[in-house]
Structure 1
Amino acid sequence: MAKWTLFLMSVLSSLYLSNAYKILVIFPLPGKSHSILAEGVLNQLSRAGHEVTYVASIIPAKPIKGVTVINISDYLKLPAHLMNLKSIMDNKNTDRFSHLPSMLNMSRNAINNVPVQTLLSDKTQQFDVVIAEWMYNEVYAGFSGVFNCPLIWFSTVEPHWMVLQLVDEVPNPSYTVDILSGNVPPLTFTQRVMELGYQIFGKLLKIYVSSVDQEIYEKHFVSHIRNRGYPVPPFEELKYNGSLVLSNSHVSMGIATRLPPNYIPIGGYHIDPVVKPLPKDLQKIIDDAKHGFIYFSMGSNLRSKHLPAEVKQDLLNMFGELKQTVLWKFEEDLPNRPSNVHILKWAPQQSILAHEKCLLFITHGGLLSTTESIHFGVPTIGIPVFGDQFVNVARGVKKGYAKKVDLSYTMAKDLKVAIQEMINDSRYMKKIKELSFIYHHRTVSPGQELVHWVEHVIKTGGAWHLRTHAATTPWYQKVYLDLAIVLLIIMIAIKYLFRYMCCSNGKKVLANYMKKQN
């Protein structure tokens, strides 16, 4: 009996392993929110039984079954000045693309290091697919060239023209907005001109980015491709060879957008379907909150302790005037706190938002926080700081479940007005519950969606059947410039033919007339 049991187990094990794929996941950006998204991908693929190699600068706190980590934390650091709230408040005129050089430099460092170069040079390493995070450049497409396998782009933001053009075409800026914009359709005349300007400037900027990507590709990828005996594809061909885009988005959070069949929204896949219980001390604070509580967090990268001292004191004074309990995610203790204000150096955000007494979420407007607020149905007050936070908050305001407060030295006063309005007006809660229903009303969970499409790309050899010709059709053919040239040539030919015929007939008429005169 024991022999048959062992035999059956070995058969089942072999069947299980035969469905396992080797997947390379590239999420090197040293930001906590990005690592949360990456670990969500790892967890979903691990549960499906796949073998994953993960290139990362923030290592998972606990080992994940089937995941091998390539640690590059020594080579990537997030520039401190980009995340300092006081520096941002004192320099309002920061260029919207000031982060780009840092992003490019981090991409270079993510490839040009010993662990990654060792991985690339190891000819025994082979993968069935590469999943690479898109972050304003496409240099990670080089990994799919080295391992000669399909590429899946991962977008951490709502549908954006720079990502869409990798698998389809640039959407019309008259009704779609840039990810760094604060506009929301329908757009006014001025806003349409702005979006057109953003897109034109972005395209010019991409010329520079592409040249840097090309240099990194030739220096750090091409030799490995040759060593494996593969033909070296042009970088332009590689970056547009993505099988699909997995997008951390959903229509409930953003706006309805025309998407190609290989653009897959999976927003919310990182959220654990089982809400973890709150720590006992936090549970007691919430149980004692007779009037409910407000949760305040500026995210995982920004630090509330960097706020100017006077702003922190103004916020404490303002929160102390509220009857609601306030949970403030803060990195250090604050002296002389009002009795209703509680500091959380670490906050189990999903468990907090899931609690029925949570009335309001004050947030920086990051997409993870936006996703979780809609998932759990909690209205928000957004204090955007940089990146896509402005457009995320603007969409929330437009949808009717959020209000915006500017990051400023007087924001405590503005915040109090927003809190009182949202607490006393049931429309905000009603609207977020409606959107939460839309968010949850899907055919399958976003985690299942993620695993399905990754496996689909592998099983179909790159999902070529999902790719539209929009990405490969030249722009002059899209606008029928070649037809216009042909028509112009025909019109010119007709004009000259008509003129020639008129001149020939004229000469004959004149010759006949002269003969008659003679």
Structure 2
Amino acid sequence: MFYIYICFVLYWANISHGANILALVAAVSYSHQIAFAPLWKELSLRGHNVTVLTTDPMNDTKLTNLTELDMKWAYNVRKNSTYLIESKVFMWNYHQTVFGAMYRICDFVLSSDIGMNLRRNEYKADLVLVEYLCPEFLAFAELYNCPKILIASMSVPSIYSDLIGDSTHSVLHPEFITAFHGKLSFRERVVSTLVNWYLYYVFNFDIFNKKQISLRRYFNSTSTIPELISDIDMMFLYVNPVIHGPKAIGPATITIGGYREDTSEEPIPSKMKKFLDEAVEGCIYVSLGTNVNSSELNQQLLKNIKDALGEIPYKVLWKFEEDVGDMPKNIETAKWMPQQKILNHPNVKLFVFQGGLQSIEESVHGEVPFVVIPFFADQYQNAKILEDKGLALVLDRTSLKKDDLKNAILKVMNDSKYRDRVKKLKQLILDSPMTGLEKAVWWTEYVIRNKGAKHLRNPVADIPFYQYYLLDIVAFLLGIIILSVTVTIIALTKLYKLTTICYLLKEKTQ
């Protein structure tokens, strides 16, 4: 009885010391939300009081310490995603398009009852986590006088990394919106550098300026957006060096990607499971993610994909957002599918997808290789990474023909090297002392325990550009060399003239 009492006291002592955590994830994208949903769940189960602003609430009644501020309405702002499919939203205007939409959404949040309630003095937080798309929300940490963590479900623009001291290099680490990876050609190095310089201009003179307006309007803050980003205590990046490659980062940048455990209790629907179980020759899973709908593809591209899938000797499971009645007999469609469970089914042998990062993780865990048709954002670079690692074949959607897709599917299906390389990548990802979730939880509580993590700040963040690249030292040494050479030339010139005069005087006296 005494033992039970002690356990009861310790349990409630742990609960009573739980921190108040505010997480602000306003991205209108399911993939951005599910990347961090396990973290909110685990923190709440550990006794912390977690309040999350999200477009996709879990609505799990078991999580009594989790409060979800539902902003599902934001999907209406981005109801039509055709611009992502039809337009050339790529290197030059992607960030302006996405951050422009997010500026409107974040401004609406701040002006709403949710924003006003969060800005009231009676709300107290011990830690604020903010998604990188809405850096103006970092001002809440200033308001509560608490530490702040920046989070991202993918790589972040180089300017974010540079502001916190994780210096980037346009050749070694091209912007994630480019299709460049690995050893770059001269042309790719030129383009990558120009993209990097251009995005610095875009962020400093467009994106950050717009967000500065919200910062002053709702917080009356004297800080600038770059100052808020530079002052964060930590950053969680949902990437993995095994997939993306190693990168020089400071101790305050934590990579937590690579593997996400399937904790969903939703089973594979019986009809779908029967379809998979009967696919003894192998099944192809097709999904373009949550930001690109198969039903919104242009008619020619859709026809080419459908015809290619209809001619392969395998069953196909295709996430298709509308009811269709003219699909080939080997294709089964559904508006929604439990993707991770499907990719773990032993009969699924290939994943045809758009290149989303979370989908990559789920497919690698299921040991399923890829055929990639990228559309926008980091999907081009992700596709190049998979191709370079020998895990996938990549197709260009703008010129995709039926036979291109058909031949790619047959090649990956019939060549065991693709599946073997996926298995090896999975082994490398799992060979780690901690999972991404465990790292995220540990470091979150570390920041709370120590009331910040400024002592882990990368000193590079505080070194001026010219000092980091040794421009002042180079200029100094170059100045000495120029001065020395100049003095030497002048001295030699004068010596020559003096010698000449002496010689002439000598000749004259003779």
TM-score range, shorter chain: 0.7 to 0.9
Partner SS, residue 128 of structure 2: strand
Measure the CA separation in 1 of the matches of 2:427 and 2:265.
18
Give 1:391 deviation, angstroms.
0.4
* Cα distance per residue 1:348-390 (max 9 Å; x no partner): 0000001111100000101111111122211011111110010
Give 1:234 deviation, angstroms.
5.2
Aligned to 1:516: none
Give 1:498 deviation, angstroms.
12
Give 1:79 deviation, angstroms.
2.8
1:369 lines up with 2:338 in the alignment: no
Partner SS, residue 158 of structure 1: coil
Choose the corresponding residue for 2:160, options 160, 163, 171: 163
Choose the corresponding residue for 1:39, options 37, 40, 60: 37
Aligned to 1:514: none
Measure the CA separation in 1 of the matches of 2:469 and 2:304.
57
Aligned to 2:104: 105
Partner SS, residue 291 of structure 2: coil
Structure 2 gap segments, 5+ residues each: 502-510
Aligned to 1:178: 175
1:349 lines up with 2:347 in the alignment: no
Aligned to 1:87: 86
Structure 1 residues 303 and 270 mapped into 2: Cα distance closer, same or farther (>3 Å)? same
Aligned to 2:220: 222
After the TM superposition, which residues 122-141 of structure 1 pair with which residues of structure 2 at under 5 Å, given as runs?
A: 122-135=120-133, 138-141=135-138
Structure 1 residues 437 and 169 mapped into 2: Cα distance closer, same or farther (>3 Å)? closer
1:149 lines up with 2:146 in the alignment: yes
* Cα distance per residue 1:386-418 (max 9 Å; x no partner): 100100011000110011112147443211010
Measure the CA separation in 2 of the matches of 1:157 and 1:132.
14
Give 1:141 deviation, angstroms.
1.8
Aligned to 1:513: none
Choose the corresponding residue for 2:314, options 290, 304, 324: 324
After the TM superposition, which residues 37-76 of structure 1 pair with which residues of structure 2 at under 5 Å, given as runs?
A: 37-63=35-61, 64-74=63-73
Structure 1 residues 97 and 242 mapped into 2: Cα distance closer, same or farther (>3 Å)? closer
Structure 1 residues 493 and 397 mapped into 2: Cα distance closer, same or farther (>3 Å)? closer
Give 1:430 deviation, angstroms.
0.8
Aligned to 2:272: 282
Is the contact made by 2:163 and 2:226 (CA closer than 8 Å) also made in structure 1? no
Structure 1 residues 343 and 10 mapped into 2: Cα distance closer, same or farther (>3 Å)? same
Measure the CA separation in 2 of the matches of 1:476 and 1:409.
45
Choose the corresponding residue for 2:416, options 426, 433, 438: 426
1:11 lines up with 2:14 in the alignment: no
* Cα distance per residue 1:213-268 (max 9 Å; x no partner): 32221111127xxxxxxxx6555432211111111111232122222212111114
1:119 lines up with 2:125 in the alignment: no
Measure the CA separation in 2 of the matches of 1:327 and 1:436.
24
Give 1:111 deviation, angstroms.
2.4
Aligned to 1:23: 21
Measure the CA separation in 1 of the matches of 2:314 and 2:126.
53
Partner SS, residue 418 of structure 2: helix
Give 1:273 deviation, angstroms.
5.7
Aligned to 1:245: 235
Structure 1 residues 489 and 358 mapped into 2: Cα distance closer, same or farther (>3 Å)? closer
After the TM superposition, which residues 277-426 of structure 1 pair with which residues of structure 2 at under 5 Å, given as runs?
A: 277-408=267-398, 410-426=400-416
Is the contact made by 1:169 and 1:470 (CA closer than 8 Å) also made in structure 2? yes
Measure the CA separation in 2 of the matches of 1:14 and 1:305.
51
Partner SS, residue 385 of structure 1: coil
Give 1:133 deviation, angstroms.
0.6
Q: Is 171-180 or 310-319 further displaced after alignment? A: 310-319
Normalised by the length of structure 2, the TM-score is 0.88
Is the contact made by 1:248 and 1:265 (CA closer than 8 Å) also made in structure 2? yes
Aligned to 1:227: none
Choose the corresponding residue for 1:205, options 202, 205, 223: 202
Measure the CA separation in 2 of the matches of 1:207 and 1:105.
18
Is the contact made by 2:279 and 2:314 (CA closer than 8 Å) also made in structure 1? yes
Is the contact made by 2:349 and 2:368 (CA closer than 8 Å) also made in structure 1? yes
Is the contact made by 1:81 and 1:87 (CA closer than 8 Å) also made in structure 2? no
Normalised by the length of structure 1, the TM-score is 0.87
Structure 1 residues 274 and 82 mapped into 2: Cα distance closer, same or farther (>3 Å)? closer
Measure the CA separation in 2 of the matches of 1:126 and 1:58.
24
* Cα distance per residue 1:175-222 (max 9 Å; x no partner): 111110001111111111111111110111121222223222111112
* Cα distance per residue 1:447-502 (max 9 Å; x no partner): 111100101111122122321210111112213334455557777988799989x9
Partner SS, residue 152 of structure 1: strand
* Cα distance per residue 1:49-74 (max 9 Å; x no partner): 21111112333343443111223344
Taking only aligned residues, the RMSD between alpha carbons, in angstroms, comes to 3.2
Measure the CA separation in 2 of the matches of 1:269 and 1:291.
28
Measure the CA separation in 1 of the matches of 2:122 and 2:308.
61
Question: Aligned AA for 2:233?
Answer: S
1:479 lines up with 2:469 in the alignment: yes
Give 1:82 deviation, angstroms.
3.8
Structure 1 residues 305 and 222 mapped into 2: Cα distance closer, same or farther (>3 Å)? same
Give 1:18 deviation, angstroms.
4.0
Give 1:152 deviation, angstroms.
0.7
Partner SS, residue 33 of structure 2: helix
* Identical residues among aligned pairs (%): 26
Question: Aligned AA for 1:172?
Answer: H
Is the contact made by 2:259 and 2:361 (CA closer than 8 Å) also made in structure 1? no
Structure 1 gap segments, 5+ residues each: 224-231, 511-518
Structure 1 residues 485 and 253 mapped into 2: Cα distance closer, same or farther (>3 Å)? closer
Is the contact made by 2:357 and 2:382 (CA closer than 8 Å) also made in structure 1? yes
How many residue pairs align between the two structures?
Answer: 496
Measure the CA separation in 2 of the matches of 1:313 and 1:486.
65
Is the contact made by 1:158 and 1:254 (CA closer than 8 Å) also made in structure 2? no
Structure 1 residues 274 and 236 mapped into 2: Cα distance closer, same or farther (>3 Å)? closer
Structure 1 residues 427 and 489 mapped into 2: Cα distance closer, same or farther (>3 Å)? closer
Q: Is 436-445 or 308-317 further displaced after alignment? A: 308-317
Measure the CA separation in 1 of the matches of 2:483 and 2:274.
87
Q: Is 101-110 or 240-249 further displaced after alignment? A: 101-110
Question: Aligned AA for 2:209?
Answer: S
